[in-house]
């Protein structure tokens, strides 16, 4: 298991519409958390303002814009990001897109999104696809690693196989973390508890609503961090 500080294991997803709300959330959580994810909603509402603010405060940023376009466009988009102090950025894609993004990665780490955690087996069947999500995630992760990607975004359910078959180097970042065990209570379908996801091999956990919508976010963070510490030491 990698030696990752406890305050960087959970990446809080700042899924809010305004930079002021994001800053308020960071101020609430920063005694315990030093890693924040900025996704499409907040980026559309603040561009780099929140990214710069969080980096200047000494915290890490995962910029989750899941770039997906022709290779040259993805490369140019990654270039726009690689000098802003962002630690992790996400891309989708097939081999040429991943290769192009890697050319422009700079000091950032790049994560390939494997299969969204909101995508379930029934969605696969509805598209007429056979096979399992577990295989799809595994083979996409294997390919991304072969191409030089630093890691993947996947649910905790696929982490164990990736960790045992693809090795320690692969960075596994896992959303779909829920306090109850595998309880589907919203749009996330492949969910897991914090402790189980880390035990399965995840390096970082992306947690949004269970923290951001909680009456007492610190209480939720402390409880998840206890679970993590029990497994990761
Ligand atoms: O609120 P919740 O904990 O479900 O938030 C999960 C976050 O992780 C969201 O910001 C979502 O965009 C992100 N994410 C995800 N599944 C992926 C990649 C990112 O849920 N495969």
40 CA closest ligand 1 atom index: 12
Q: What's residue 138's pLDDT?
A: 93
Largest CA distance in the chain: 48
Ranges of residues in the chain whose predicted pLDDT is under 70: 180-185, 188
| Ligand 1 centroid to residue 176 C-alpha, Å | 6
Beta carbons of 112 and 98 less than 8 angstroms apart: yes
End-to-end Cα distance, the chain: 10
Q: What's residue 182's pLDDT?
A: 45
pTM above 0.85, yes or no: yes
Domains and CATH numbers, the chain: 6-232 (3.20.20.70)
Q: Which residues contact 54 (CB under 8 A, 6 or more apart)?
A: 26, 36, 38, 60, 61
What tokens appear for 43 in the block?
């980026």
Q: For residue 113, what are the CA distances in angstroms to 24, 52, 68? A: 28, 24, 10
State if residue 116 touches ligand 1 by the CB under 6 angstroms criterion: yes
Count of Cβ atoms closer than 10 Å to residue 168 Cβ: 10
| Ligand 1 centroid to residue 104 C-alpha, Å | 25
CA angle 59-64-67, nearest 5°? 140
State if residue 155 touches ligand 1 by the CB under 6 angstroms criterion: no
Q: What's residue 6's pLDDT?
A: 97
Q: What's residue 33's pLDDT?
A: 98
Q: What's residue 184's pLDDT?
A: 52
State if residue 206 touches ligand 1 by the CB under 6 angstroms criterion: yes
Among all residues, which ones are annotated catalytic? 66
Q: What's residue 185's pLDDT?
A: 62
How do strand 35-38 and strand 10-13 relate by DSSP bridges?
A: parallel
State if residue 175 touches ligand 1 by the CB under 6 angstroms criterion: yes
| Ligand 1 centroid to residue 227 C-alpha, Å | 20
State if residue 13 touches ligand 1 by the CB under 6 angstroms criterion: yes
Beta carbons of 135 and 158 less than 8 angstroms apart: no
């Amino acid at each position: 298991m990698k030696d990752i500080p406890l305050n960087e294991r959970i990446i809080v997803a700042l899924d809010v519409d305004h930079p002021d709300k994001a800053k308020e959330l960071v101020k609430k959580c920063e005694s315990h958390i030093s890693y924040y994810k900025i996704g499409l909603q907040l980026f559309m509402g603040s561009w780099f303002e929140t990214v710069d603010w969080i980096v200047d405060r000494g915290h890490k940023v995962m910029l989750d814009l899941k770039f997906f376009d022709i290779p040259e466009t993805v490369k140019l988009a990654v270039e726009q990001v690689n000098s802003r102090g962002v630690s992790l950025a996400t891309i989708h894609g097939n081999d040429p897109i991943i290769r192009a993004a890697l050319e422009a990665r700079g000091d950032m780490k790049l994560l390939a999104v494997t299969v969204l955690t909101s995508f379930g087996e029934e969605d696969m069947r509805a598209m007429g696809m056979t096979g399992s999500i577990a295989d799809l995630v595994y083979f996409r992760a294997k390919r991304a690693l072969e191409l030089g990607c630093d890691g993947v975004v996947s649910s905790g359910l696929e982490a164990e196989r990736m960790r045992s078959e693809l090795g320690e180097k692969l960075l596994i970042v896992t959303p779909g973390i829920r306090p109850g065990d595998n309880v589907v209570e919203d749009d996330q379908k492949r969910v897991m508890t914090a402790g189980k996801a880390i035990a399965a091999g995840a390096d970082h956990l992306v947690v949004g609503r269970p923290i951001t919508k909680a009456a007492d976010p610190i209480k939720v963070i402390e409880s998840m961090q206890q679970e993590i510490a029990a497994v990761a030491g």
